[in-house]
């Protein structure tokens, strides 16, 4: 039976509700599931421009991956939620830079809103090692 460990790694914001930022599943393969990351800085601020929001979301995911000794090459699935199609270009440019080779599986959805209305981008990830 796999072992499941939940964590809220340093370098990431504290969960806004009752959930864990990551879940690590260790068995034959080691899985890390990263909760949706919003572009909220440690001081609670949110960048206004989409490129800065995309960068901050990527930094949060990178912190989660590093906590579990993983990197972007371990990511097998991304799910992206955008509040406007205008944010697509900024997130896709950042995503493409993170995965210059074969990209992971990905889903992108335009939604009416996110938990924090200042945010236009939220991304969750699944990594395997």
**pLDDT per residue as tens, the chain (129 positions):** 668 788 999 999 988 878 889 989 888 889 999 999 999 999 999 999 999 999 999 999 999 999 999 999 999 999 999 999 999 999 999 999 999 888 898 999 999 999 999 999 999 999 999
Please tell me the predicted confidence (pLDDT) of residue 38.
98
Look at residue 103 and give its three-state secondary structure: coil
What is the predicted pLDDT for the residue at 72? 96
Domain boundaries, the chain: 3-128
Q: Give the N- to C-terminal CA distance of the chain in Å, as an integer.
A: 17
Q: What is the DSSP letter of 104?
A: P
The helix or strand, by DSSP H or E, that contains position 126, with its residue range, turns out to be strand 121-128
Topology of the domain comprising 3-128: 60s Ribosomal Protein L30; Chain: A; (3.30.1330)
124, 105 Cβ separation under 8 angstroms: no
Q: Which helix (H) or strand (E) holds 25?
A: strand 22-26
Q: What is the pTM of this model?
A: 0.88
Q: Which of 45, 37, 34 is nearest to 121 (CA)?
A: 37
User: How far apart are alpha carbons 100 and 91 in whole angstroms?
Assistant: 14
Q: pLDDT at position 111, please?
A: 98
Two tokens, residue 123: 């991304």
Residue 105: its pLDDT value, please? Answer: 86
Calpha distance 125→61 (Å, rounded): 8
Residue 98 neighbours by CB distance under 10 Å:
18
Helix 50-67 with 88-98: angle, nearest 10 deg: 40
Between CA 101 and CA 111 the distance in angstroms is 29
Instruction: Give residue 1's pLDDT.
Output: 66
């Amino acid at each position: 039976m796999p072992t499941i460990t939940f964590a809220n790694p340093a370098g990431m914001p504290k969960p806004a509700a009752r959930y864990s930022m990551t879940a690590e599943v260790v068995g034959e393969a080691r899985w890390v599931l990263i909760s949706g990351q919003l572009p909220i800085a440690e001081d609670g601020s949110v960048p206004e421009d989409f490129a800065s929001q995309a960068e901050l979301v990527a930094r949060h995911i990178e912190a989660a991956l590093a906590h579990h000794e993983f990197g972007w090459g371990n990511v097998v699935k991304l799910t992206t939620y955008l509040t406007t199609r205008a944010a697509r270009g900024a997130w896709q440019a950042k995503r493409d830079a993170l995965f210059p080779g074969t990209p992971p599986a990905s889903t992108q959805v335009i939604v009416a809103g996110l938990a924090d209305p200042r945010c236009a981008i939220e991304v969750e990830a699944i990594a395997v090692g």
